[in-house]
Protein backbone atom coordinates (compact mmCIF):
# COMPACT_ATOMS: atom_id res chain seq x y z
CA UNK A 1 0.00 0.00 0.00
CA UNK A 2 1.41 3.40 -1.01
CA UNK A 3 1.92 6.05 1.67
CA UNK A 4 -1.29 8.07 1.85
CA UNK A 5 0.37 11.50 1.80
CA UNK A 6 3.16 10.68 -0.63
CA UNK A 7 4.75 13.93 -1.86
CA UNK A 8 1.90 16.05 -0.52
CA UNK A 9 3.16 19.51 0.39
CA UNK A 10 1.84 19.91 3.93
CA UNK A 11 1.87 22.59 6.61
CA UNK A 12 0.89 21.81 10.20
CA UNK A 13 0.34 24.92 12.30
CA UNK A 14 0.74 24.09 15.97
CA UNK A 15 2.70 20.91 15.33
CA UNK A 16 5.42 21.10 17.96
CA UNK A 17 3.67 19.21 20.78
CA UNK A 18 0.63 17.13 21.64
CA UNK A 19 -1.91 16.50 18.87
CA UNK A 20 0.06 18.46 16.29
CA UNK A 21 3.35 16.68 16.94
CA UNK A 22 1.69 13.27 16.73
CA UNK A 23 0.22 14.30 13.38
CA UNK A 24 3.61 15.56 12.17
CA UNK A 25 5.19 12.20 12.89
CA UNK A 26 2.40 10.37 11.08
CA UNK A 27 2.49 12.74 8.10
CA UNK A 28 6.21 12.04 7.66
CA UNK A 29 5.56 8.29 7.89
CA UNK A 30 2.91 8.69 5.19
CA UNK A 31 5.33 10.36 2.79
CA UNK A 32 4.43 14.02 3.26
CA UNK A 33 6.81 16.86 2.51
CA UNK A 34 6.24 18.73 5.73
CA UNK A 35 6.70 22.11 7.35
CA UNK A 36 5.69 22.45 11.01
CA UNK A 37 4.97 25.84 12.57
CA UNK A 38 4.75 26.66 16.25
CA UNK A 39 5.98 28.82 19.08
CA UNK A 40 8.11 26.08 20.64
CA UNK A 41 11.00 24.10 19.22
CA UNK A 42 9.88 20.56 18.30
CA UNK A 43 11.58 17.49 19.71
CA UNK A 44 11.67 15.81 16.27
CA UNK A 45 14.02 16.58 13.39
CA UNK A 46 12.16 14.83 10.57
CA UNK A 47 10.64 18.02 9.23
CA UNK A 48 11.25 21.73 8.76
CA UNK A 49 10.25 23.92 11.71
CA UNK A 50 9.30 27.58 11.37
CA UNK A 51 8.55 29.90 14.30
CA UNK A 52 5.12 31.52 14.13
CA UNK A 53 2.44 33.11 16.28
CA UNK A 54 -0.62 32.14 14.25
CA UNK A 55 -2.67 35.01 15.68
CA UNK A 56 -0.28 37.55 14.11
CA UNK A 57 -1.14 38.56 10.56
CA UNK A 58 2.45 39.51 9.70
CA UNK A 59 3.87 36.27 11.10
CA UNK A 60 1.31 34.16 9.23
CA UNK A 61 2.17 35.94 5.99
CA UNK A 62 5.85 35.26 6.58
CA UNK A 63 5.12 31.64 7.46
CA UNK A 64 3.26 31.01 4.21
CA UNK A 65 5.88 32.78 2.12
CA UNK A 66 8.66 30.68 3.63
CA UNK A 67 6.61 27.46 3.49
CA UNK A 68 5.77 27.88 -0.18
CA UNK A 69 9.39 28.74 -0.97
CA UNK A 70 10.54 25.59 0.81
CA UNK A 71 7.87 23.22 -0.56
CA UNK A 72 7.29 24.81 -3.95
CA UNK A 73 3.57 25.16 -3.24
CA UNK A 74 0.97 23.84 -0.83
CA UNK A 75 -1.49 20.93 -0.89
CA UNK A 76 -2.56 20.57 2.74
CA UNK A 77 -3.02 22.84 5.76
CA UNK A 78 -3.71 21.25 9.13
CA UNK A 79 -4.38 23.92 11.74
CA UNK A 80 -3.99 22.56 15.27
CA UNK A 81 -2.77 25.68 17.09
CA UNK A 82 -4.89 26.98 19.95
CA UNK A 83 -5.01 27.25 23.70
CA UNK A 84 -7.10 27.50 26.83
CA UNK A 85 -7.89 31.00 28.04
CA UNK A 86 -8.29 30.21 31.73
CA UNK A 87 -5.13 32.03 32.75
CA UNK A 88 -6.41 35.15 30.96
CA UNK A 89 -9.85 35.11 32.59
CA UNK A 90 -11.99 32.67 30.57
CA UNK A 91 -14.67 30.92 32.60
CA UNK A 92 -18.45 30.83 33.02
CA UNK A 93 -20.34 33.50 31.08
CA UNK A 94 -21.00 35.64 34.17
CA UNK A 95 -17.34 35.50 35.22
CA UNK A 96 -15.46 35.58 31.90
CA UNK A 97 -13.41 38.76 31.62
CA UNK A 98 -13.00 40.91 28.54
CA UNK A 99 -9.32 39.96 28.46
CA UNK A 100 -10.13 36.27 28.80
CA UNK A 101 -12.65 36.45 25.96
CA UNK A 102 -10.33 38.30 23.58
CA UNK A 103 -7.24 36.23 24.29
CA UNK A 104 -9.13 32.99 23.71
CA UNK A 105 -10.83 34.15 20.53
CA UNK A 106 -7.48 35.36 19.18
CA UNK A 107 -5.61 32.16 20.04
CA UNK A 108 -8.24 29.83 18.61
CA UNK A 109 -10.61 31.47 16.12
CA UNK A 110 -8.54 34.37 14.82
CA UNK A 111 -5.49 32.18 14.28
CA UNK A 112 -7.55 29.64 12.32
CA UNK A 113 -9.02 32.43 10.20
CA UNK A 114 -5.55 33.79 9.46
CA UNK A 115 -4.04 30.50 8.30
CA UNK A 116 -7.15 29.36 6.43
CA UNK A 117 -7.35 32.62 4.52
CA UNK A 118 -3.70 32.34 3.51
CA UNK A 119 -4.12 28.70 2.46
CA UNK A 120 -7.23 29.36 0.37
CA UNK A 121 -5.52 32.26 -1.36
CA UNK A 122 -2.61 29.97 -2.22
CA UNK A 123 -4.89 27.15 -3.41
CA UNK A 124 -6.81 29.56 -5.65
CA UNK A 125 -3.55 30.90 -7.03
CA UNK A 126 -2.32 27.39 -7.82
CA UNK A 127 -5.69 26.40 -9.32
CA UNK A 128 -5.27 22.77 -8.31
CA UNK A 129 -7.42 22.53 -5.18
CA UNK A 130 -6.23 21.57 -1.73
CA UNK A 131 -7.26 20.32 1.69
CA UNK A 132 -7.67 22.12 5.01
CA UNK A 133 -8.28 20.43 8.34
CA UNK A 134 -9.14 22.57 11.36
CA UNK A 135 -9.22 21.81 15.07
CA UNK A 136 -12.39 22.39 17.07
CA UNK A 137 -13.49 20.63 20.27
CA UNK A 138 -16.28 18.36 21.37
CA UNK A 139 -17.18 21.18 23.80
CA UNK A 140 -18.49 23.17 20.84
CA UNK A 141 -21.06 20.42 20.21
CA UNK A 142 -21.58 18.75 23.57
CA UNK A 143 -21.04 21.09 26.55
CA UNK A 144 -20.06 19.73 29.93
CA UNK A 145 -20.08 22.73 32.28
CA UNK A 146 -19.71 20.79 35.53
CA UNK A 147 -15.97 20.43 34.84
CA UNK A 148 -15.43 22.43 31.64
CA UNK A 149 -17.13 25.81 32.07
CA UNK A 150 -15.20 28.12 29.73
CA UNK A 151 -17.50 30.16 27.52
CA UNK A 152 -14.86 31.84 25.33
CA UNK A 153 -13.20 28.51 24.55
CA UNK A 154 -16.51 26.93 23.55
CA UNK A 155 -17.44 29.98 21.46
CA UNK A 156 -14.07 30.03 19.68
CA UNK A 157 -14.29 26.34 18.85
CA UNK A 158 -17.89 26.72 17.68
CA UNK A 159 -16.79 29.61 15.49
CA UNK A 160 -14.18 27.39 13.85
CA UNK A 161 -16.93 24.94 12.87
CA UNK A 162 -19.15 27.67 11.40
CA UNK A 163 -16.28 29.29 9.52
CA UNK A 164 -15.05 25.96 8.17
CA UNK A 165 -18.43 24.82 6.92
CA UNK A 166 -19.15 28.16 5.26
CA UNK A 167 -15.79 28.07 3.52
CA UNK A 168 -16.24 24.41 2.57
CA UNK A 169 -19.46 25.33 0.80
CA UNK A 170 -17.94 28.38 -0.87
CA UNK A 171 -14.83 26.68 -2.27
CA UNK A 172 -16.02 23.15 -3.08
CA UNK A 173 -16.27 24.08 -6.76
CA UNK A 174 -12.60 25.06 -6.60
CA UNK A 175 -11.77 21.54 -5.37
CA UNK A 176 -10.80 22.87 -1.96
CA UNK A 177 -11.90 20.59 0.86
CA UNK A 178 -12.29 21.93 4.42
CA UNK A 179 -13.05 19.62 7.34
CA UNK A 180 -12.92 19.78 11.13
CA UNK A 181 -11.88 17.49 13.98
CA UNK A 182 -13.69 17.84 17.32
CA UNK A 183 -11.66 15.92 19.92
CA UNK A 184 -12.80 15.02 23.37
CA UNK A 185 -10.28 15.18 26.20
CA UNK A 186 -6.92 14.09 24.80
CA UNK A 187 -3.80 13.41 26.88
CA UNK A 188 -1.68 16.42 25.88
CA UNK A 189 0.31 19.06 27.78
CA UNK A 190 -2.59 21.53 27.38
CA UNK A 191 -4.95 19.05 29.07
CA UNK A 192 -2.62 18.24 31.98
CA UNK A 193 -4.71 20.21 34.52
CA UNK A 194 -7.87 18.30 33.71
CA UNK A 195 -6.28 14.88 33.37
CA UNK A 196 -4.46 15.19 36.71
CA UNK A 197 -7.70 16.06 38.54
CA UNK A 198 -8.99 12.86 40.23
CA UNK A 199 -12.63 13.94 39.90
CA UNK A 200 -12.27 14.55 36.16
CA UNK A 201 -10.36 11.28 35.73
CA UNK A 202 -13.25 9.43 37.36
CA UNK A 203 -15.77 11.36 35.24
CA UNK A 204 -13.97 10.43 32.01
CA UNK A 205 -14.40 6.72 32.68
CA UNK A 206 -18.11 7.13 31.93
CA UNK A 207 -17.95 10.22 29.68
CA UNK A 208 -15.38 8.73 27.27
CA UNK A 209 -16.11 5.02 27.73
CA UNK A 210 -14.11 3.88 24.70
CA UNK A 211 -10.95 4.85 26.59
CA UNK A 212 -12.05 4.57 29.22
CA UNK A 213 -10.51 7.93 29.95
CA UNK A 214 -8.55 10.43 27.85
CA UNK A 215 -7.71 9.75 24.23
CA UNK A 216 -4.21 9.87 22.80
CA UNK A 217 -2.77 12.28 20.22
CA UNK A 218 -2.45 9.32 17.84
CA UNK A 219 -6.24 8.93 17.91
CA UNK A 220 -6.44 12.33 16.22
CA UNK A 221 -3.43 11.74 13.98
CA UNK A 222 -5.04 8.71 12.35
CA UNK A 223 -8.15 10.72 11.48
CA UNK A 224 -6.06 13.66 10.26
CA UNK A 225 -4.08 11.53 7.82
CA UNK A 226 -7.30 10.19 6.31
CA UNK A 227 -9.03 13.56 5.95
CA UNK A 228 -5.94 15.20 4.45
CA UNK A 229 -5.33 12.38 1.98
CA UNK A 230 -6.92 11.60 -1.37
CA UNK A 231 -8.86 8.82 0.34
CA UNK A 232 -11.15 11.63 1.58
CA UNK A 233 -11.36 13.30 -1.85
CA UNK A 234 -15.18 13.26 -1.79
CA UNK A 235 -15.52 14.59 1.76
CA UNK A 236 -15.86 18.25 2.73
CA UNK A 237 -17.62 20.24 5.43
CA UNK A 238 -17.72 17.45 8.00
CA UNK A 239 -17.14 17.81 11.74
CA UNK A 240 -15.69 14.54 13.04
CA UNK A 241 -15.79 13.94 16.80
CA UNK A 242 -12.76 12.04 18.10
CA UNK A 243 -14.23 11.75 21.54
CA UNK A 244 -14.35 8.17 22.82
CA UNK A 245 -18.13 8.42 23.14
CA UNK A 246 -18.19 11.80 24.94
CA UNK A 247 -20.99 13.26 22.83
CA UNK A 248 -23.13 10.12 23.33
CA UNK A 249 -22.57 9.58 27.05
CA UNK A 250 -24.07 11.21 30.13
CA UNK A 251 -20.96 10.97 32.26
CA UNK A 252 -21.29 10.44 35.99
CA UNK A 253 -19.87 12.37 38.89
CA UNK A 254 -20.39 12.36 42.65
Give the residue numbers annotated as catalytic, written as ranges: 153
C-beta atoms surrounding 35 within 10 Å: 24
93 phi, psi to nearest 5 deg: -55, -40
CA distance 180 to 29: 22
Tell me the residue ranges of DSSP E strands in the chain. 9-13, 33-38, 48-51, 76-79, 130-135, 176-183, 239-242
Tell me the residue ranges of DSSP E strands in 98-225. 130-135, 176-183
CB–CB of 214/187 below 8 Å?
yes
CA distance 59 to 242: 30
Q: How far apart are the first and last CA of the chain?
A: 49
CA distance 117 to 184: 26
Alpha carbon distances (Å) from 248 to 35, 141, 146, 208, 239: 36, 11, 17, 9, 15
C-beta atoms surrounding 234 within 10 Å: 7
CA distance 166 to 230: 22
Amino acid sequence: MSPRLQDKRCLIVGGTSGIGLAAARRFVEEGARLVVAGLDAPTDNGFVHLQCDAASESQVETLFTETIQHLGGLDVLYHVAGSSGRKHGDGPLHECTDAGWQATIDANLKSTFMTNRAAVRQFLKQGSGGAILNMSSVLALSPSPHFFDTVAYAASKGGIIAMSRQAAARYASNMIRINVLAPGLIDTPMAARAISDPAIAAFLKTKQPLGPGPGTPDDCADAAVFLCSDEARFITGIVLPIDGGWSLSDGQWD
